[in-house]
Structure 1
Amino acid sequence: MSEPVVLLDAERRVTWSNSAAKNLFSTRIEGRDFGLFARQPELLAAIADVQGDMAHRRTAEIITSQPQERQWMVVASRIPPQEETRIRASGVARIGPPVVLLAFHDITHVKLVERMRADFVANASHELRTPLSSLLGFIETLRGPARDDAAARERFLAIMEEEARRMVRLVDDLLSLSRIESDTALPADARADLGEVVARVTGTLAPLADEHDIRFVLEKRTDDTLVHGDSDQLVQMVSNLVENAIKYGGEKGSVTIRLEDRPAVTHANGPGENGSLLLEVIDEGPGIAPEHLPRLTERFYRVDTARSRAMGGTGLGLAIVKHIVRRHEGELVIFSTPGVGTRVRITLPRMAATRTAKSPPRSEK
């Protein structure tokens, strides 16, 4: 049995515990009052209820800190006569008759998911409430002081349109993230050409790049750009990365998009017997401080909240990228140096039948 189990007698003394329980409490507990090791009032009250015939079973949630913090659902159950007889027959030494069985169930991951879900709902609500509040404020103003002011009306309508579009972007990203998460367990075993994906994305984002005076540098160092993948999701992945690089990479610079062959290796997310294709998106922006890098793919995490919102960001772009990469059994690594720029590297497994001789490096600008 992998989870801790403890038997208590009528005096709340421990008569038996399995190895998992011994590891949990890190000391000898047999023959001693269980209250010395578990001082959580909720658990002790549950034990008292079961011992006092107030209930056949009670549950309590506790937190332990050694060797690391864990959360447990503890089920305290009265041992029926036939079960007690069976336990006695096992020959386990004990001080007195066991009357209460404590079964510990690790719910740390469940609680973590619950907190993540609650944080997600709270963040999403906050992100939607801000533009909604702005819209309501402008509507009130247009109905009142600015009713007959044509210039103010046009200005306010423009702001209202932008806030509405911001909500649409947020809802679209939330729906995309939900779809991608639901697809994570499904293999992305179709055929996709990452070179064509990059060409499509740069064509679509060319007007945005021109607006920021950004030029694309395409470095295609292999002609073999076929991977296992969902083309639509790969377009979204590359679009999110390139759009971030344009918006946050500074004005009058360049965004480099590199495709490069990688030899067959075994990587963390799965075997790469057929080799891999490396995609890098590199900008020349202000860079990101090291303490922010581990959290960049969290939902709604922003290094600069005001700047992100001003740029039309939803805080979900890299979270979407992370889940797409995960579904494609790839790897995502972000490098950044303040004052130099940011480089996002994605490695995707190749299709088995696409191995070709590596092409000589070439650069397109």
Structure 2
Amino acid sequence: MSDVVSSAAQTRVRRATGLRTRDFGVLLAIFATVLLLMLVTGATGPLEAIAGVLAAAAVSAAYFVGSAVISPPDAETDGVAASLPPSPAISVIPLKSLPLPAFEIDLDGRIVAFNAEAEDVLRLDGRVRPRASTVIRSPVLLSAIDDAVRTPSDTPAAVDVEVGPDETWRAYLSRPPQAERILVVLEDLSPLRRAARSRSDFIANASHELRTPLTALSGFIETMRGPAKDDPESWGRFLDIMAIEAERMSRLIADLLSLSRIESSEQVAPRDRISLRDILRAGASALEGFAEDRGIRLNVVVPAEPLHVIGNYDELIQVVENLVSNAIKYSRPGGTVTVTVGTASDTQQGRATAAQAWPESDRMTLIQTVARVGTSDPAVWLRVEDEGPGIEREHLPRLGERFYRTDQSRGGKITGTGLGLAIVKHIMAHHRGGMAVETRLGQGTAFGVWMPAAKPEAAAS
């Protein structure tokens, strides 16, 4: 860097010297020309002309040397000055170019500049040069701003601002020496904190759920090796229980892997054009034997039209199987599980048809349709009704939580991993759809899902 600066400075010195030499030559030539004209016209004699030229040369030389003394070229100083950035009081990059909320505060504590993101976060509502203390409610951030006003520093400061129980921001404050403004950039840490908390809860719950069948298996193995070692007649009962626990652990691991796979691909929109009618047929056929064993009548209303959607075949099969199997588990013996599917003019009508069919029922939307789906776009819906005991209203918000078993609210000892509805929620989020529940105590529960319908093939092409 210093070599580049030195070379540039030397070039500027040579250029300045050349310009002053040119000026010296022009001045001397003009003076000599005047004296020559005076000599030719007889206005002066030869000796006087020669003396005049020598005097002009002496004056020009004095000017040449004197100008160099007055403005001495300092190579390093000149080069460094040319490479210095603008004054820190002036914004080099416009705030609107920053992707994060950012604003500037002057030394009087007023917000003098901000981008659109910061205007939304701070809720400025068009106010001009408001005081930071009237807009910012965090004592921690206000204290950091006061510190930046009193003590500028080349090192930016960072403070965490707790806005609420589930909302955390990190504020980066920068005020270099000689700067007349403080730059504040905000970063939303809430998604990272929620993800970390969810990951921690998931690991804790998964460990607990896996420990239960493992403890049962270990206990029966120890019993068969010890007290029941010489009692082969009891081994059959022990082995049956061990098989049930092993199957439960296998289902739990399969659901965990399925949930992890769905979450990892949730941001990638599906692309396959598939028929929801075919999915309904395949999913219901796989559960006919399960319904028959429990004495449940499975009533599947299959439409004549294919009901095309853009989705993942295996994931939508899981939606049908999880919802129908849950309905079969919780229906009373001799009851009926009804599965219907259809189309709607838009997502709002699809939601109403899928989860608002019973009057005087308790309802809860478990996942909303994403905002980027057009409200006027056609939708396809699916509704699964059972004739079970229903769900108490206070338990509805927890449906879809990982490892939350609905038998805790519906009564009875229903085996399951507690991940079925969580898987359905993630699948519907992947398909830009929605999910809701409708229940009547003592009469039954219905789960409904809906998603955008596929555009006609002619329009899509």
Pairwise same-fold verdict (TM > 0.5): yes
C-alpha separation between the residues in 2 aligned to 1:265 and 1:306?
30
Matched, 1:296 2:399: yes
C-alpha separation between the residues in 2 aligned to 1:250 and 1:14?
68
C-alpha separation between the residues in 1 aligned to 2:374 and 2:207?
40
Per-residue CA deviations over 1:153-207 (Å, capped at 9, x if unaligned) read 3222222221121111111111111111222233323232222222222222122
Gaps of 5+ in 2: 1-94, 351-368
Using the size of structure 2 for normalisation, the TM-score is 0.61
Select which of 212, 230, 236 maps to 1:148. Answer: 230
Matched, 1:311 2:395: no
Gaps of 5+ in 1: 89-97, 356-365
Where 1:352 maps in the other structure, the secondary structure is: coil
Alignment match, 1:73: 170
| Alpha carbons of structure 1 residues 114 and 31: separation in structure 2 relative to 1, 3 Å | closer
Alignment match, 2:299: 217
Select which of 335, 342, 345 maps to 1:263. Answer: 345
Select which of 238, 242, 247 maps to 1:160. Answer: 242
Is contact 2:347-2:450 (8 Å) kept? no
Alignment match, 1:91: none
Q: CA deviation at 1:47?
A: 8.2
Q: CA deviation at 1:280?
A: 1.2
Alignment match, 2:435: 332
C-alpha separation between the residues in 2 aligned to 1:345 and 1:306?
19
Q: CA deviation at 1:110?
A: 2.0
Structure 1 residues 230-245: aligned runs within 5 Å = 230-245=312-327
Letter of the 1:157 counterpart: L
Per-residue CA deviations over 1:38-91 (Å, capped at 9, x if unaligned) read 545x996998799789993443323135xx96312233445244xx1xxx3xxx
Is contact 1:308-1:314 (8 Å) kept? no
Structure 1 residues 109-188: aligned runs within 5 Å = 109-188=191-270
Select which of 425, 428, 432 maps to 1:322. Answer: 425
Structure 1 outlier segments of 4+, above 6 Å: 25-29, 45-55, 306-309
C-alpha separation between the residues in 2 aligned to 1:196 and 1:312?
29
Structure with greater contact order relative to length (CA < 8 Å, sep ≥ 6)? 1
Which one has a larger percent helix, Structure 1 or Structure 2? 2
Q: CA deviation at 1:346?
A: 1.9
| Alpha carbons of structure 1 residues 55 and 327: separation in structure 2 relative to 1, 3 Å | same
Is contact 2:278-2:306 (8 Å) kept? no
Give the RMSD, CA atoms, in angstroms. 3.8
Where 1:188 maps in the other structure, the secondary structure is: coil
Alignment match, 2:70: none
Where 1:271 maps in the other structure, the secondary structure is: coil
| Alpha carbons of structure 1 residues 324 and 245: separation in structure 2 relative to 1, 3 Å | same
Matched, 1:62 2:166: no
Aligned residues: 333
Alignment match, 1:3: 101
Select which of 336, 352, 359 maps to 1:254. Answer: 336
C-alpha separation between the residues in 2 aligned to 1:30 and 1:272?
41
